[in-house]
A = this chain, B = another copy of it.
Amino acid sequence: MIAIDLNPALKPVAFLLGTWRGEGEGQYPTIKPFRYRGEIRFTHNGKAFIIYTQQTEAIDTGLPMHGEAGYLRLVGEGQVEFVIAQPIGFAEISLGQVSGRRIDVECTSVGRTPTAKPVTSISRSLWLDGETLRYQVKMGMEGAPLSQHLRASFHRLD
């Protein structure tokens, strides 16, 4: 392994770096509310983006639920671009900003495979509250406006 210095562009989001474990709750107008456990990893390789993965699992069985993977790009003056692939058949292109220890992004486009659910929009907020990393995800679907979907809090493992 080569030790790689943090790209200076990443300083505003360096608070994300590491592995985080936590729990969350999901809801949507069309489904029964649910709870989950999860792990988030934010890593870097010296370039001006953060590598992101999240995997969630059922609290009772430990079986995998949702996963996603992508990249948070720092493109100057607090502006961020978030590209995320999801195994349920879609990919988000989102834009937003980092302000203090908080990142807010909104989709500018959602790419979907023919078998994906008709997700049309996603907004994500992610913020550090003391030592706790919290996020909130809102989702819109065909016929349903942007609505509260996920809320979770995580603690750093390393």
Given contacts A46-B64, A53-B69, A69-B53, contact A111 B91 (CB under 8 A): yes
The SS class assigned to the A binding surface is strand
Does A15 belong to the interface (CB within 8 Å)? no
Q: Which residues of B contact A63 (CB under 8 A)?
A: 2, 4, 46
Q: Which of B75, B83, B87 contacts A91 (CB 8 A)?
A: B83
Q: CB < 8 Å: which of B62, B83, B114, B115 contacts A87?
A: B83
Copies of chain A in the complex? 2
User: Is there a chain B Cβ closer than 8 Å to A112's Cβ?
Assistant: yes
What count of chain A residues pass the 8 Å CB interface test? Answer: 38
Instruction: Point out residues on A near B: beta carbons under 8 Å.
Output: 2, 4, 45-47, 49, 51, 53, 55, 62-64, 67, 69-71, 73, 75, 81, 83-87, 89-93, 95, 108-115
